Amino acid sequence: MSYTGSICNINNLLIGFREAGQVDYVKIFDASNIAVYYEEFNDCNNLAVVQDCIAPNVTASSPNTSYCQSDSIKLTGTANVSVQYSWTGPNAFSSSIANPVIPNAIPASSGWYKLTGYVNPCTPINKDSVYITVHPQKYTNVYPYICPGDSYLAGGSNQTVPGLYYDTLSAATGCDSIVLTYLSMLTASASTNTVSICSGDSILAGGQFQHLSGSYFDTLVNDDGCDSVITTMLTVISPLYTNISHFICLGDSFFVGGSFQFTPGIYHDTVAAFTGCDSIIITNLSVIQPVTTILDVAICEGDSYLAGGAQQTLAGTYTDTIASSLGCDSIIITNLAVIMPVYGYRTVSICENDSFLTGGAYQSTAGLYLDTLTGAAGCDSVLTTDLQIILPLFQNLDAFICQGDSLFVGGNFQQLTRLLQ
């Protein structure tokens, strides 16, 4: 059976009965369900006197009730008697020691911390609590910009290099306030202008009017408030001189030096070049006299030659006027000569049965033959050949040999009497 009374030290009461309904034993358990009293009724020597429990006084406190983030929360538990402690609190906190410490506090650690104290084996308890506040650490982000060569106070000193800098300040709560400075460097704008001027002109650059080629620098303030450097690459264009040689025929003219010119000489013209500056053209004018050429030409009789505007077959002097390679008149005087054919005669004798090249073939018969040849001047030369045949000369020889001898004649050694040729 269960015990619902309020006797000190008794949490559960277990009573056993015999078959006849008599009490056999009694067991008493404390709050930890540990048996603290046992009585068998075979005798009555184990009767115990039970006393009432007195509840302890407990106090929950902390050296500070206000903490900063990342601090350690210190809790203090005290009692007027020796007790067992049980702490509970925010963020699932629990502890069974009198003075627990919570490291690295966060804002979620803020709230009531409750302390419970009790004495074994008594069941009456006492409670107390303390409220703890954890202030969050404040972070402030700033994004300043500086121009090259400037500085910004961050990270405890003046900074000239872009980057992230930290400063720790004290807030109104007494906790640290972290300032994160994201420092950026603006780019100084720069531009380059390429400018050309004519010789004698000027342009404002580098703070004054410039007349000479070179690089000039001007520093202005751009839209970001930083310096803007303008580089002017100045080129002074000198006058462009162009030399021209021009030829005209005698009697013609050429527009130069501001008018038509008929006589040779050097003339100057000033014009605007593609750059917009003056361009000076120097013209060396020459007058070409007519060219006279005398040709001595020889042709063969029967040929012709183009001279005097027609094909000529007779000897004489002919004149032609034509345009030369320069476009001017050129006079050609042709002295034409006609070369007459050259006639030659020769007598050639050959032996009978021989031949001679004449009349365009080998000849073996006596007669007159004609050959037309090319002379030194390239004209025909007629050669007459009188071909004569020389007959053989016959002579009779009488030769005698002795019987048994031989004589070489007729192409062999002979021993017999005979007529041989």
Residue 143 and residue 176 in one domain: yes
Domain-located, residue 15: no
51-62 residue pLDDT tens: 445 667 899 999
Question: What count of other Cβ atoms lies within 10 Å of the Cβ of residue 257?
Answer: 15
Residue 355 and residue 415 in one domain: yes
In sequence order, what are the residues at sequence separation of 6 or more whose Cβ sits closer than 8 angstroms to the Cβ of residue 329? 249, 290, 291, 321, 322, 323
- Residue with more model confidence, 316 or 272: 316
Rounded to 5°, the CA angle 99-101-105 comes to: 145
Residue 71 and residue 124 in one domain: yes
Domain-located, residue 28: no
163-182 residue pLDDT tens: 999 988 877 777 878 889 99
Enter the tokens of residue 122.
């008594």
Question: What count of other Cβ atoms lies within 10 Å of the Cβ of residue 117?
Answer: 25
Domain-located, residue 39: no
**What is the C-alpha to C-alpha distance for residues 312 and 301, in angstroms, rounded to an integer?**
11
Residue 229: pLDDT band with limits 50, 70, 90: confident
Amino acid 34: pLDDT = 47
For the stretch 284-322, what's the b/e string if a residue is b when 16 or more beta carbons lie within 10 angstroms of its beta carbon? ebebbeeeeeeeeeebbeeeebebbeeebeeeeebeeee
Residue 410 and residue 365 in one domain: yes
Amino acid 5: pLDDT = 52
Please name every residue paired with 413 in a beta bridge, in sequence order, or none if there are none: 408
pLDDT at 147 over 90: no
| Cβ 122 vs Cβ 82: under 8 Å | no
Enter the tokens of residue 65.
């009730």
355-399 residue pLDDT tens: 999 988 999 898 999 888 877 667 878 889 898 999 887 767 777
pLDDT at 48 over 60: no
CATH of the domain at 73: 2.60.40.10
Read off the pLDDT of each residue in 66-92 and give the average, rounded to a whole number: 90
Residue 266: pLDDT band with limits 50, 70, 90: very high
Report percent pLDDT > 70 for the chain: 82
> What DSSP designation does 108 have?
G
Residue 25: pLDDT band with limits 50, 70, 90: low
End-of-domain residue from the set 278, 304, 339: 339
Domain-located, residue 395: yes
pTM of the model: 0.35
End-of-domain residue from the set 218, 253, 288: 288
**What is the C-alpha to C-alpha distance for residues 40 and 23, in angstroms, rounded to an integer?**
9
Enter the tokens of residue 336.
């034409």
273-313 residue pLDDT tens: 777 787 889 999 999 888 888 999 988 888 899 999 999 99
Domain-located, residue 33: no
Report percent pLDDT > 90 for the chain: 33
Domain-located, residue 368: yes
Domain that holds residue 248: 240-288
Read off the pLDDT of each residue in 65-94 and give the average, rounded to a whole number: 90
For 9, 10, 119, 128, 356, the CA distances from 53, given in Å and listed in that order, are 7, 10, 9, 20, 179
Question: What count of other Cβ atoms lies within 10 Å of the Cβ of residue 218?
Answer: 14
Enter the tokens of residue 323.
């345009």
Which H or E run contains 160?
A: none
Residue 232 and residue 245 in one domain: no
**Phi-psi group of 411: left, alpha or beta (phi > 0 → left; psi -120 to 50 → alpha; rest → beta):** left
pLDDT averaged over every residue in the chain? 82
Residue 333 and residue 364 in one domain: no
**What is the C-alpha to C-alpha distance for residues 324 and 124, in angstroms, rounded to an integer?**
144
Find the distance separating the first CA and the last CA of the chain, reported in whole Å.
191
Question: What count of other Cβ atoms lies within 10 Å of the Cβ of residue 158?
Answer: 10
Residue 317 and residue 255 in one domain: no
Domain-located, residue 12: no
Lowest model confidence (mean pLDDT) among 4-8, 202-206, 230-234: 4-8
Residue 129 and residue 171 in one domain: no
Residue 105 and residue 147 in one domain: no
Domain-located, residue 29: no
Amino acid 164: pLDDT = 92
**What is the C-alpha to C-alpha distance for residues 308 and 319, in angstroms, rounded to an integer?**
5
Q: Which residue has the tokens 């008149």?
A: 329
Indicate the number of domains in the chain.
6
